[in-house]
Structure 1
Protein backbone atom coordinates (compact mmCIF):
# COMPACT_ATOMS: atom_id res chain seq x y z
CA UNK A 1 0.00 0.00 0.00
CA UNK A 2 2.91 2.35 -0.56
CA UNK A 3 5.29 3.85 1.96
CA UNK A 4 4.36 5.15 5.41
CA UNK A 5 5.45 8.78 5.50
CA UNK A 6 5.66 11.39 8.27
CA UNK A 7 6.11 15.06 7.37
CA UNK A 8 6.59 17.61 10.14
CA UNK A 9 5.52 21.12 9.24
CA UNK A 10 3.28 19.54 6.62
CA UNK A 11 0.37 21.96 6.72
CA UNK A 12 1.72 24.44 4.21
CA UNK A 13 4.72 25.40 2.09
CA UNK A 14 7.39 22.80 1.42
CA UNK A 15 5.87 20.30 3.83
CA UNK A 16 2.46 20.49 2.18
CA UNK A 17 4.03 19.98 -1.25
CA UNK A 18 5.91 16.95 0.11
CA UNK A 19 2.73 15.48 1.56
CA UNK A 20 0.80 15.99 -1.68
CA UNK A 21 3.62 14.44 -3.70
CA UNK A 22 3.91 11.33 -1.54
CA UNK A 23 0.13 10.97 -1.36
CA UNK A 24 -0.19 11.25 -5.14
CA UNK A 25 2.14 8.28 -5.59
CA UNK A 26 0.03 6.11 -3.30
CA UNK A 27 1.84 6.55 0.01
CA UNK A 28 0.18 6.91 3.39
CA UNK A 29 0.80 10.33 4.90
CA UNK A 30 0.80 11.75 8.42
CA UNK A 31 1.43 15.48 8.74
CA UNK A 32 2.04 17.54 11.84
CA UNK A 33 1.84 21.30 12.09
CA UNK A 34 1.09 24.01 14.63
CA UNK A 35 -1.38 25.68 12.26
CA UNK A 36 -4.83 24.19 12.88
CA UNK A 37 -6.34 26.11 9.97
CA UNK A 38 -3.79 24.66 7.56
CA UNK A 39 -4.37 21.14 8.86
CA UNK A 40 -8.12 21.57 8.41
CA UNK A 41 -7.55 21.81 4.65
CA UNK A 42 -5.71 18.47 4.45
CA UNK A 43 -7.39 15.65 2.52
CA UNK A 44 -9.45 13.24 4.58
CA UNK A 45 -7.17 10.30 3.80
CA UNK A 46 -4.20 11.98 5.49
CA UNK A 47 -3.63 11.78 9.24
CA UNK A 48 -3.23 15.35 10.50
CA UNK A 49 -1.97 16.05 14.03
CA UNK A 50 -1.64 19.54 15.49
CA UNK A 51 1.40 20.26 17.61
CA UNK A 52 4.90 21.65 17.97
CA UNK A 53 7.61 19.49 16.36
CA UNK A 54 10.11 20.68 18.99
CA UNK A 55 7.91 19.39 21.85
CA UNK A 56 9.02 15.91 22.98
CA UNK A 57 5.56 15.03 24.32
CA UNK A 58 3.95 15.88 20.99
CA UNK A 59 6.46 13.85 19.01
CA UNK A 60 6.09 10.86 21.34
CA UNK A 61 2.33 11.04 20.74
CA UNK A 62 2.84 11.20 16.97
CA UNK A 63 5.06 8.11 16.94
CA UNK A 64 2.75 6.24 19.29
CA UNK A 65 -0.02 6.83 16.78
CA UNK A 66 2.22 5.73 13.92
CA UNK A 67 3.03 2.50 15.78
CA UNK A 68 -0.64 1.85 16.55
CA UNK A 69 -2.03 2.61 13.09
CA UNK A 70 0.83 1.67 10.75
CA UNK A 71 3.10 -0.58 12.76
CA UNK A 72 6.20 1.18 11.46
CA UNK A 73 7.51 4.11 9.44
CA UNK A 74 9.32 4.15 6.10
CA UNK A 75 10.03 7.84 5.50
CA UNK A 76 10.46 10.76 7.88
CA UNK A 77 10.63 14.25 6.42
CA UNK A 78 11.87 16.42 9.29
CA UNK A 79 10.73 19.62 7.67
CA UNK A 80 9.27 21.82 10.42
CA UNK A 81 11.07 25.12 10.71
CA UNK A 82 10.72 28.83 11.30
CA UNK A 83 12.56 31.75 9.74
CA UNK A 84 13.58 33.37 13.03
CA UNK A 85 14.45 37.05 13.38
CA UNK A 86 16.06 39.24 10.75
CA UNK A 87 18.59 41.36 12.62
CA UNK A 88 22.27 41.85 13.30
CA UNK A 89 23.56 39.37 15.85
CA UNK A 90 23.84 42.01 18.60
CA UNK A 91 20.16 42.84 18.12
CA UNK A 92 18.86 39.27 18.37
CA UNK A 93 17.23 38.45 21.69
CA UNK A 94 18.44 35.20 23.30
CA UNK A 95 14.91 33.81 23.39
CA UNK A 96 14.51 34.47 19.65
CA UNK A 97 17.72 32.57 19.00
CA UNK A 98 16.70 29.65 21.22
CA UNK A 99 13.25 29.36 19.64
CA UNK A 100 14.64 29.33 16.11
CA UNK A 101 17.17 26.62 16.97
CA UNK A 102 14.56 24.60 18.89
CA UNK A 103 12.13 24.32 16.00
CA UNK A 104 14.68 23.83 13.23
CA UNK A 105 17.21 21.60 15.02
CA UNK A 106 15.50 20.01 18.00
CA UNK A 107 12.44 19.23 15.89
CA UNK A 108 14.63 17.26 13.47
CA UNK A 109 16.40 15.53 16.38
CA UNK A 110 13.11 14.41 17.93
CA UNK A 111 11.78 13.08 14.64
CA UNK A 112 14.96 11.04 14.18
CA UNK A 113 15.07 9.93 17.82
CA UNK A 114 11.61 8.39 17.72
CA UNK A 115 11.87 7.05 14.17
CA UNK A 116 15.19 5.27 14.72
CA UNK A 117 13.94 2.34 16.86
CA UNK A 118 11.10 1.62 14.42
CA UNK A 119 13.36 1.77 11.39
CA UNK A 120 16.04 -0.35 13.07
CA UNK A 121 13.47 -3.03 13.86
CA UNK A 122 12.44 -3.26 10.21
CA UNK A 123 16.01 -2.67 8.93
CA UNK A 124 14.93 -0.02 6.44
CA UNK A 125 13.91 3.61 6.22
CA UNK A 126 14.79 7.07 4.97
CA UNK A 127 15.17 10.23 7.02
CA UNK A 128 15.13 13.48 5.06
CA UNK A 129 15.91 16.74 6.86
CA UNK A 130 15.07 20.12 5.38
CA UNK A 131 18.11 22.34 5.75
CA UNK A 132 18.73 25.42 3.57
CA UNK A 133 21.46 26.98 1.50
CA UNK A 134 21.77 29.11 4.65
CA UNK A 135 23.29 25.91 6.03
CA UNK A 136 26.01 26.05 3.38
CA UNK A 137 27.10 29.68 3.73
CA UNK A 138 27.03 32.50 6.23
CA UNK A 139 23.83 34.54 6.18
CA UNK A 140 24.12 38.14 7.45
CA UNK A 141 21.14 39.31 9.53
CA UNK A 142 19.99 35.68 9.99
CA UNK A 143 22.39 34.23 12.58
CA UNK A 144 19.83 32.02 14.40
CA UNK A 145 18.49 30.49 11.19
CA UNK A 146 21.91 29.89 9.63
CA UNK A 147 23.18 28.36 12.87
CA UNK A 148 20.27 25.92 13.04
CA UNK A 149 20.45 24.97 9.37
CA UNK A 150 24.19 24.26 9.63
CA UNK A 151 23.56 22.22 12.76
CA UNK A 152 21.01 19.91 11.14
CA UNK A 153 23.69 18.85 8.67
CA UNK A 154 25.85 17.57 11.52
CA UNK A 155 22.81 15.71 12.82
CA UNK A 156 22.12 14.22 9.40
CA UNK A 157 25.72 13.09 8.86
CA UNK A 158 25.71 11.41 12.27
CA UNK A 159 22.38 9.70 11.61
CA UNK A 160 23.73 8.35 8.32
CA UNK A 161 26.67 6.80 10.18
CA UNK A 162 24.70 5.43 13.13
CA UNK A 163 21.78 4.07 11.14
CA UNK A 164 23.46 2.99 7.91
CA UNK A 165 24.33 -0.49 9.23
CA UNK A 166 20.59 -1.05 9.68
CA UNK A 167 19.74 -0.20 6.08
CA UNK A 168 18.53 3.28 6.99
CA UNK A 169 19.50 6.31 4.93
CA UNK A 170 19.70 9.94 6.06
CA UNK A 171 20.04 12.95 3.77
CA UNK A 172 19.34 16.67 3.82
CA UNK A 173 17.85 18.98 1.23
CA UNK A 174 19.16 22.55 1.07
CA UNK A 175 16.57 24.68 -0.72
CA UNK A 176 17.38 28.14 -1.98
CA UNK A 177 14.83 30.92 -1.75
CA UNK A 178 11.44 29.22 -2.01
CA UNK A 179 8.62 31.25 -3.49
CA UNK A 180 5.90 31.96 -0.95
CA UNK A 181 4.84 34.01 2.07
CA UNK A 182 7.84 33.05 4.23
CA UNK A 183 10.52 34.38 1.88
CA UNK A 184 8.36 37.41 1.14
CA UNK A 185 8.41 38.21 4.87
CA UNK A 186 12.17 37.65 5.08
CA UNK A 187 12.74 39.98 2.15
CA UNK A 188 10.52 42.68 3.63
CA UNK A 189 12.30 42.51 6.99
CA UNK A 190 15.73 42.58 5.38
CA UNK A 191 14.72 45.57 3.25
CA UNK A 192 13.69 47.46 6.39
CA UNK A 193 16.92 46.50 8.15
CA UNK A 194 19.01 47.72 5.21
CA UNK A 195 16.93 50.80 4.46
CA UNK A 196 16.01 49.73 0.94
CA UNK A 197 13.07 48.18 -0.91
CA UNK A 198 11.93 44.56 -1.14
CA UNK A 199 12.42 44.73 -4.90
CA UNK A 200 16.11 45.53 -4.46
CA UNK A 201 16.60 42.68 -1.98
CA UNK A 202 14.77 40.18 -4.21
CA UNK A 203 16.84 41.25 -7.22
CA UNK A 204 20.00 40.77 -5.16
CA UNK A 205 19.00 37.25 -4.17
CA UNK A 206 18.18 36.34 -7.76
CA UNK A 207 21.47 37.81 -8.98
CA UNK A 208 23.34 35.48 -6.62
CA UNK A 209 21.85 32.36 -8.26
CA UNK A 210 23.28 30.95 -11.48
CA UNK A 211 19.81 30.22 -12.84
CA UNK A 212 18.54 33.65 -11.72
CA UNK A 213 15.43 32.21 -10.16
CA UNK A 214 13.80 31.28 -6.87
CA UNK A 215 12.65 27.67 -6.46
CA UNK A 216 9.18 26.35 -5.70
CA UNK A 217 7.99 24.11 -2.90
CA UNK A 218 7.29 21.47 -5.54
CA UNK A 219 10.94 21.50 -6.64
CA UNK A 220 11.92 20.57 -3.09
CA UNK A 221 9.16 17.98 -2.76
CA UNK A 222 10.32 16.28 -5.96
CA UNK A 223 13.78 15.85 -4.45
CA UNK A 224 12.32 14.44 -1.23
CA UNK A 225 10.34 11.88 -3.22
CA UNK A 226 13.52 10.83 -5.05
CA UNK A 227 15.56 10.54 -1.85
CA UNK A 228 12.83 8.33 -0.37
CA UNK A 229 12.72 6.10 -3.44
CA UNK A 230 14.58 2.93 -4.37
CA UNK A 231 16.34 5.01 -7.01
CA UNK A 232 18.31 6.59 -4.16
CA UNK A 233 18.94 3.34 -2.30
CA UNK A 234 22.66 4.09 -1.84
CA UNK A 235 22.37 7.85 -1.42
CA UNK A 236 23.04 8.64 2.23
CA UNK A 237 24.86 11.26 4.25
CA UNK A 238 24.41 13.81 1.47
CA UNK A 239 23.35 17.45 1.33
CA UNK A 240 21.43 18.05 -1.90
CA UNK A 241 21.02 21.70 -2.85
CA UNK A 242 17.82 22.58 -4.72
CA UNK A 243 18.59 26.21 -5.40
CA UNK A 244 19.53 26.82 -9.02
CA UNK A 245 23.18 26.98 -7.83
CA UNK A 246 23.94 29.73 -5.37
CA UNK A 247 26.99 31.69 -6.51
CA UNK A 248 26.91 34.38 -3.83
CA UNK A 249 24.65 34.04 -0.78
CA UNK A 250 24.82 37.77 0.04
CA UNK A 251 25.09 39.64 -3.27
CA UNK A 252 25.33 43.41 -3.24
CA UNK A 253 23.20 45.22 -5.79
Structure 2
Protein backbone atom coordinates (compact mmCIF):
# COMPACT_ATOMS: atom_id res chain seq x y z
CA UNK A 1 0.00 0.00 0.00
CA UNK A 2 1.31 3.46 -0.87
CA UNK A 3 2.14 5.90 1.90
CA UNK A 4 -0.61 8.21 3.15
CA UNK A 5 0.76 11.74 3.51
CA UNK A 6 -0.99 14.76 5.05
CA UNK A 7 0.56 18.17 4.37
CA UNK A 8 -0.61 21.36 6.03
CA UNK A 9 -0.39 24.55 3.96
CA UNK A 10 -0.12 22.11 1.07
CA UNK A 11 -1.81 24.16 -1.63
CA UNK A 12 1.06 26.54 -2.37
CA UNK A 13 4.72 27.28 -1.76
CA UNK A 14 6.86 24.71 0.03
CA UNK A 15 3.77 22.69 0.95
CA UNK A 16 2.70 22.29 -2.64
CA UNK A 17 6.26 21.34 -3.61
CA UNK A 18 6.11 18.64 -0.92
CA UNK A 19 2.76 17.42 -2.23
CA UNK A 20 4.10 17.20 -5.76
CA UNK A 21 7.21 15.33 -4.62
CA UNK A 22 5.28 12.82 -2.52
CA UNK A 23 2.79 12.36 -5.35
CA UNK A 24 5.65 11.67 -7.75
CA UNK A 25 7.03 9.08 -5.31
CA UNK A 26 3.74 7.17 -5.45
CA UNK A 27 2.27 8.36 -2.17
CA UNK A 28 -1.34 9.29 -1.60
CA UNK A 29 -1.55 12.99 -0.83
CA UNK A 30 -3.96 14.95 1.35
CA UNK A 31 -3.48 18.71 1.56
CA UNK A 32 -4.98 21.07 4.12
CA UNK A 33 -4.95 24.83 3.66
CA UNK A 34 -6.90 27.98 4.53
CA UNK A 35 -6.70 29.27 0.94
CA UNK A 36 -9.72 27.86 -0.88
CA UNK A 37 -8.65 29.31 -4.23
CA UNK A 38 -5.24 27.63 -4.00
CA UNK A 39 -6.88 24.37 -2.91
CA UNK A 40 -9.15 24.46 -5.94
CA UNK A 41 -6.14 24.84 -8.21
CA UNK A 42 -4.44 21.65 -7.04
CA UNK A 43 -4.60 18.32 -8.90
CA UNK A 44 -7.95 16.57 -8.70
CA UNK A 45 -6.50 13.31 -7.39
CA UNK A 46 -5.15 14.99 -4.25
CA UNK A 47 -7.57 14.90 -1.37
CA UNK A 48 -8.03 18.25 0.27
CA UNK A 49 -9.59 20.05 3.20
CA UNK A 50 -9.92 23.65 4.22
CA UNK A 51 -8.48 23.83 7.73
CA UNK A 52 -6.95 26.50 9.96
CA UNK A 53 -4.15 24.86 11.97
CA UNK A 54 -4.56 27.45 14.74
CA UNK A 55 -8.13 26.22 15.38
CA UNK A 56 -8.15 23.03 17.43
CA UNK A 57 -11.71 22.13 16.45
CA UNK A 58 -10.73 22.35 12.77
CA UNK A 59 -7.57 20.30 13.32
CA UNK A 60 -9.46 17.63 15.25
CA UNK A 61 -12.06 17.42 12.48
CA UNK A 62 -9.32 17.16 9.86
CA UNK A 63 -7.70 14.16 11.55
CA UNK A 64 -11.05 12.45 12.07
CA UNK A 65 -11.75 12.91 8.36
CA UNK A 66 -8.34 11.57 7.35
CA UNK A 67 -8.63 8.53 9.60
CA UNK A 68 -12.18 7.80 8.44
CA UNK A 69 -11.18 8.01 4.78
CA UNK A 70 -7.75 6.43 4.90
CA UNK A 71 -7.90 4.28 8.02
CA UNK A 72 -4.66 5.79 9.27
CA UNK A 73 -1.77 8.06 8.37
CA UNK A 74 1.86 7.37 7.51
CA UNK A 75 3.37 10.85 7.25
CA UNK A 76 2.38 14.20 8.74
CA UNK A 77 4.11 17.24 7.28
CA UNK A 78 3.32 20.01 9.79
CA UNK A 79 4.30 22.71 7.36
CA UNK A 80 1.87 25.61 7.89
CA UNK A 81 3.44 28.94 8.74
CA UNK A 82 3.28 32.67 8.22
CA UNK A 83 6.05 35.26 8.03
CA UNK A 84 4.76 37.47 10.83
CA UNK A 85 5.72 41.12 11.24
CA UNK A 86 9.05 42.62 10.23
CA UNK A 87 9.87 45.24 12.86
CA UNK A 88 12.14 45.98 15.82
CA UNK A 89 10.91 44.26 18.97
CA UNK A 90 9.61 47.50 20.48
CA UNK A 91 7.34 48.02 17.47
CA UNK A 92 5.84 44.51 17.38
CA UNK A 93 2.16 44.53 18.33
CA UNK A 94 1.10 41.84 20.79
CA UNK A 95 -1.71 40.73 18.47
CA UNK A 96 0.80 40.20 15.64
CA UNK A 97 3.09 38.26 17.99
CA UNK A 98 0.23 36.01 19.07
CA UNK A 99 -0.98 35.43 15.52
CA UNK A 100 2.50 34.43 14.35
CA UNK A 101 2.96 31.96 17.21
CA UNK A 102 -0.58 30.63 16.83
CA UNK A 103 0.04 29.51 13.26
CA UNK A 104 3.73 28.59 13.36
CA UNK A 105 4.07 27.02 16.80
CA UNK A 106 0.59 26.20 18.08
CA UNK A 107 -0.40 24.90 14.65
CA UNK A 108 2.46 22.40 14.67
CA UNK A 109 1.55 21.43 18.24
CA UNK A 110 -2.13 20.89 17.42
CA UNK A 111 -1.39 18.79 14.33
CA UNK A 112 1.13 16.71 16.25
CA UNK A 113 -1.28 16.32 19.17
CA UNK A 114 -4.05 14.94 16.97
CA UNK A 115 -1.71 12.82 14.81
CA UNK A 116 -0.02 11.15 17.78
CA UNK A 117 -2.88 8.80 18.80
CA UNK A 118 -3.27 7.63 15.20
CA UNK A 119 0.44 6.96 14.78
CA UNK A 120 0.83 5.30 18.18
CA UNK A 121 -2.05 2.91 17.48
CA UNK A 122 -0.38 1.91 14.22
CA UNK A 123 3.05 1.50 15.79
CA UNK A 124 4.67 3.39 12.93
CA UNK A 125 4.74 6.70 11.13
CA UNK A 126 6.69 9.88 10.52
CA UNK A 127 6.20 13.47 11.65
CA UNK A 128 8.05 16.19 9.78
CA UNK A 129 7.90 19.75 11.10
CA UNK A 130 8.95 22.73 9.01
CA UNK A 131 11.02 25.19 11.02
CA UNK A 132 13.53 27.66 9.58
CA UNK A 133 17.16 28.66 9.89
CA UNK A 134 15.66 31.58 11.84
CA UNK A 135 14.91 28.91 14.44
CA UNK A 136 18.58 27.98 14.62
CA UNK A 137 20.22 31.41 14.62
CA UNK A 138 17.49 33.98 15.19
CA UNK A 139 17.07 36.96 12.91
CA UNK A 140 16.83 40.67 13.72
CA UNK A 141 13.45 42.36 13.23
CA UNK A 142 11.72 38.95 13.01
CA UNK A 143 11.29 38.17 16.73
CA UNK A 144 7.86 36.44 16.58
CA UNK A 145 8.86 34.27 13.63
CA UNK A 146 12.24 33.31 15.10
CA UNK A 147 10.71 32.53 18.50
CA UNK A 148 8.07 30.30 16.92
CA UNK A 149 10.61 28.49 14.77
CA UNK A 150 12.90 27.89 17.75
CA UNK A 151 9.86 26.53 19.55
CA UNK A 152 8.99 23.94 16.91
CA UNK A 153 12.54 22.58 17.09
CA UNK A 154 11.99 21.85 20.79
CA UNK A 155 8.61 20.36 19.94
CA UNK A 156 10.12 18.10 17.29
CA UNK A 157 12.90 16.81 19.51
CA UNK A 158 10.41 16.10 22.29
CA UNK A 159 8.06 14.27 19.92
CA UNK A 160 10.95 12.09 18.77
CA UNK A 161 11.50 11.07 22.41
CA UNK A 162 7.81 10.52 23.18
CA UNK A 163 6.87 8.71 19.99
CA UNK A 164 10.05 6.76 19.29
CA UNK A 165 9.06 3.87 21.58
CA UNK A 166 5.95 3.46 19.42
CA UNK A 167 7.95 3.19 16.19
CA UNK A 168 7.27 6.78 15.15
CA UNK A 169 10.02 9.10 13.96
CA UNK A 170 10.05 12.90 14.07
CA UNK A 171 12.46 15.29 12.38
CA UNK A 172 12.59 19.02 11.80
CA UNK A 173 13.50 20.64 8.48
CA UNK A 174 14.96 24.14 8.53
CA UNK A 175 14.69 25.90 5.18
CA UNK A 176 16.85 28.89 4.50
CA UNK A 177 15.56 31.75 2.36
CA UNK A 178 13.14 30.12 -0.10
CA UNK A 179 12.32 31.64 -3.47
CA UNK A 180 8.64 32.53 -3.64
CA UNK A 181 5.88 35.00 -2.75
CA UNK A 182 6.28 34.80 1.03
CA UNK A 183 9.97 35.65 0.87
CA UNK A 184 9.28 38.43 -1.61
CA UNK A 185 7.05 40.03 1.00
CA UNK A 186 9.84 39.80 3.59
CA UNK A 187 12.33 41.32 1.15
CA UNK A 188 10.03 44.23 0.36
CA UNK A 189 9.31 44.97 4.03
CA UNK A 190 12.98 44.82 5.01
CA UNK A 191 13.95 47.02 2.06
CA UNK A 192 11.39 49.62 3.10
CA UNK A 193 12.50 49.50 6.74
CA UNK A 194 16.19 49.87 5.84
CA UNK A 195 15.89 52.34 2.98
CA UNK A 196 17.35 49.82 0.54
CA UNK A 197 16.28 48.17 -2.68
CA UNK A 198 14.73 44.72 -2.81
CA UNK A 199 17.76 43.42 -4.75
CA UNK A 200 20.18 44.68 -2.10
CA UNK A 201 18.29 42.85 0.63
CA UNK A 202 18.05 39.73 -1.55
CA UNK A 203 21.81 39.75 -2.07
CA UNK A 204 22.34 40.16 1.65
CA UNK A 205 20.40 36.98 2.34
CA UNK A 206 22.15 35.08 -0.46
CA UNK A 207 25.62 36.22 0.61
CA UNK A 208 24.95 34.84 4.08
CA UNK A 209 25.30 31.30 2.65
CA UNK A 210 28.43 29.59 1.43
CA UNK A 211 26.63 28.65 -1.79
CA UNK A 212 25.49 32.23 -2.38
CA UNK A 213 21.90 31.47 -3.32
CA UNK A 214 18.33 30.97 -2.17
CA UNK A 215 16.80 27.50 -2.02
CA UNK A 216 13.71 26.37 -3.90
CA UNK A 217 10.62 24.58 -2.67
CA UNK A 218 11.70 21.39 -4.40
CA UNK A 219 14.89 21.30 -2.29
CA UNK A 220 12.80 21.18 0.88
CA UNK A 221 10.40 18.69 -0.68
CA UNK A 222 13.18 16.30 -1.66
CA UNK A 223 14.45 16.28 1.92
CA UNK A 224 10.93 15.58 3.21
CA UNK A 225 10.51 12.59 0.89
CA UNK A 226 13.87 11.21 2.00
CA UNK A 227 13.14 11.64 5.71
CA UNK A 228 9.77 9.92 5.27
CA UNK A 229 11.32 6.95 3.48
CA UNK A 230 12.77 3.69 4.76
CA UNK A 231 16.17 4.99 3.71
CA UNK A 232 15.94 7.22 6.81
CA UNK A 233 14.45 4.55 9.08
CA UNK A 234 16.80 5.38 11.99
CA UNK A 235 16.91 9.14 11.47
CA UNK A 236 14.86 10.75 14.23
CA UNK A 237 15.10 13.75 16.54
CA UNK A 238 17.23 15.59 14.00
CA UNK A 239 17.19 19.22 12.89
CA UNK A 240 18.27 19.38 9.26
CA UNK A 241 18.93 22.66 7.45
CA UNK A 242 18.30 22.91 3.72
CA UNK A 243 19.74 26.37 3.22
CA UNK A 244 22.83 26.39 1.03
CA UNK A 245 24.90 26.38 4.25
CA UNK A 246 24.28 29.46 6.34
CA UNK A 247 27.61 30.98 7.34
CA UNK A 248 26.37 34.42 8.44
CA UNK A 249 22.77 34.51 9.66
CA UNK A 250 22.91 38.30 10.05
CA UNK A 251 24.73 39.68 7.00
CA UNK A 252 25.44 43.38 7.28
CA UNK A 253 23.35 44.79 4.49
Q: Tell me the TM-score range normalised by the shorter chain.
A: over 0.9
Separation in 1 of the partners of 2:60 and 2:16?
A: 22
Structure 2: 5+ residue stretches without partners = none
* Matched residue SS, 1:184: helix
* Matched residue SS, 2:137: coil
Deviations 1:215-238 (A, max 9, x none): 000000000000000000000000
**Equivalent in the alignment of 1:224:** 224
**Equivalent in the alignment of 2:52:** 52
TM-score, with structure 1 as normaliser: 0.99
Deviations 1:125-163 (A, max 9, x none): 000000000000120010000000000000001000000
* Matched residue SS, 1:169: strand
1:183 is aligned to 2:183: yes
Task: Return the offset for 1:209.
Answer: 0.4
* Matched residue SS, 1:95: helix
Task: Return the offset for 1:173.
Answer: 0.3
**Equivalent in the alignment of 1:23:** 23
Moved more, 53-62 or 225-234: 53-62
**Equivalent in the alignment of 1:144:** 144
Equivalent residue runs for 1:3-42 within 5 Å: 3-42=3-42
Separation in 2 of the partners of 1:71 and 1:130?
A: 25
Equivalent residue runs for 1:237-252 within 5 Å: 237-252=237-252
Moved more, 220-229 or 26-35: 26-35
Separation in 1 of the partners of 2:54 and 2:30?
A: 17
Task: Return the offset for 1:26.
Answer: 1.4
Moved more, 26-35 or 76-85: 26-35
**Equivalent in the alignment of 2:105:** 105
Separation in 1 of the partners of 2:197 and 2:25?
A: 42
Deviations 1:158-192 (A, max 9, x none): 00000000010000000000001111110110011
Equivalent residue runs for 1:102-181 within 5 Å: 102-181=102-181
Task: Return the offset for 1:66.
Answer: 1.0
Structure 1: 5+ residue stretches without partners = none
* Matched residue SS, 1:136: helix
Q: Is the 8 A contact 2:51 2:62 kept in 1?
A: no
* Matched residue SS, 1:171: strand
